[in-house]
Amino acid sequence: MPRAIWNGAISFGLVNIPVKLVTATQSKTVRFREIRRGDNSRIRHRKVAASDGEEVTNDQIVKGYEIAPDRYVVLDPEELKALDAKRSRAIDIEDFVDLADIEPLQYESSYYLLPGDMSGKSYELLRRAMEETGKAGVARFTLRSKQYLAVLRPVGKALAVSTLLYHDEVVAPEQLDGLPDDVEVADRELAMATSLIESMTTEWDPSRYEDEHRQRVLELIERKAEGEDIASVPETEREAGDVVDLMAALEASLSAAKAGAASDKGDGQRDTA
């Protein structure tokens, strides 16, 4: 079980619920170290000044904000530290909103909240009330000297808190170039596309989707560790061209989806026979 990285309390109105913050995600990325070919010596990266190539020590490093090419406003670490958010042990809920109204693009990092000592009932009361109403709590809290905007919501039997990007950090669709404009879609085309989507619709089950690339990398590592000689295979790229006949492609896709569904149903009947 992940260890608590923060202890504090959920605060809304006059209610105070002690909680512990634990990570809700864990990276499964396969990590490599940089080594020199031939003797496997570790590669070390040093910080050097661009002007003379001299190595720079940490006490020589300050922050510079570029206001023009090669012109900087220099800020000392102590000046920035003075602007850090005041230490707080509260997740202050400012508003409750409909969870469905929060744009998923704003979600950043997620954590679980566990009830503190003697706060199980108040924790469960808040979780169940939000579950019943479909509401989420918009809050602010400080973690590692930085204040975050966050959303508090029920996830199963737990409460989760996710940090949010601020609205001006998310690119709005209106700012995008190249989106279709004044494109006519025939009713028959829309009906066919809708049927295709419906034929491919299933219940959301995240365990169905595995990181296939990561698995291939781990298998390659295991085979090489066992001394197997791996022959490189040229990579083949799928060409992404324009669909010449949209209706023909939709009809073929729908037929394939129906055939696959029928096959799955037949397999299920044979399995139970």
Q: Are residues 133 and 193 in the same domain?
A: no
Residue type, 179: L
* Domain containing residue 111: 6-25+84-169
- Is 227 a residue whose pLDDT tops 90? no
Q: Rounded mean pLDDT of 77-98?
A: 85
Count how many Cα atoms sit within 13 Å of the Cα of residue 93 in the half-sphere of its side chain: 21
Give domain status of residue 134, yes or no.
yes
Give domain status of residue 226, yes or no.
no
SS (H, E, C) 219-273: HHHHHHHCCCCCCCCCCCCCCCCCCCCHHHHHHHHHHHHHHHHHHHHHHHHHHHC
Taking 3-state DSSP, the helix, strand and coil percentages for the chain, each rounded to the nearest 5, stand at 35, 25, 40
Provide the pLDDT confidence category of residue 209 given band limits of 50, 70 and 90: confident
Give domain status of residue 109, yes or no.
yes
Give domain status of residue 60, yes or no.
no
Taking the C-alpha atoms of residue 189 and residue 86, their distance in angstroms, rounded to an integer, is 57
Taking the C-alpha atoms of residue 196 and residue 256, their distance in angstroms, rounded to an integer, is 10
Q: Are residues 20 and 129 in the same domain?
A: yes
- Looking at every residue in the chain, the average pLDDT score rounds to 86
The number of folded domains in the chain is 2
Q: Are residues 190 and 136 in the same domain?
A: no
Q: What is the pLDDT of residue 238?
A: 54
| Listed residue (205, 114, 98) closest to 161, CA to CA | 114
Q: What is the pLDDT of residue 268?
A: 59
Instruction: Give the tens place of pLDDT for each residue, 183-206.
Output: 888 898 899 899 988 988 889 888
CA angle 42-47-51, nearest 5°? 135
Q: Are residues 160 and 253 in the same domain?
A: no
Give domain status of residue 259, yes or no.
yes
Q: Are residues 98 and 160 in the same domain?
A: yes
- Is 273 a residue whose pLDDT tops 50? no
Provide the pLDDT confidence category of residue 19 given band limits of 50, 70 and 90: very high
Give domain status of residue 265, yes or no.
yes
- Is 177 a residue whose pLDDT tops 60? yes
Alpha helices in 72-186 (DSSP H): 77-81, 120-133
Q: Are residues 10 and 102 in the same domain?
A: yes
Give domain status of residue 99, yes or no.
yes
Taking the C-alpha atoms of residue 12 and residue 14, their distance in angstroms, rounded to an integer, is 6
Q: Are residues 105 and 190 in the same domain?
A: no
Q: Are residues 107 and 156 in the same domain?
A: yes
Q: Are residues 163 and 190 in the same domain?
A: no
Inter-residue contact 230 to 220 (CB < 8 Å): yes
Q: Are residues 18 and 112 in the same domain?
A: yes
Instruction: Give the tens place of pLDDT for each residue, 45-77.
Output: 999 999 999 999 988 998 999 999 989 999 988
Provide the pLDDT confidence category of residue 17 given band limits of 50, 70 and 90: very high
User: Which residues make beta-bridge pairs with 42?
Assistant: 35
Q: Are residues 117 and 165 in the same domain?
A: yes
CATH code (residue 92): 2.40.290.10
- Is 166 a residue whose pLDDT tops 90? yes
Q: Are residues 192 and 140 in the same domain?
A: no
Phi and psi for 51 in degrees, rounded to 5? -75, -40
Give domain status of residue 79, yes or no.
no
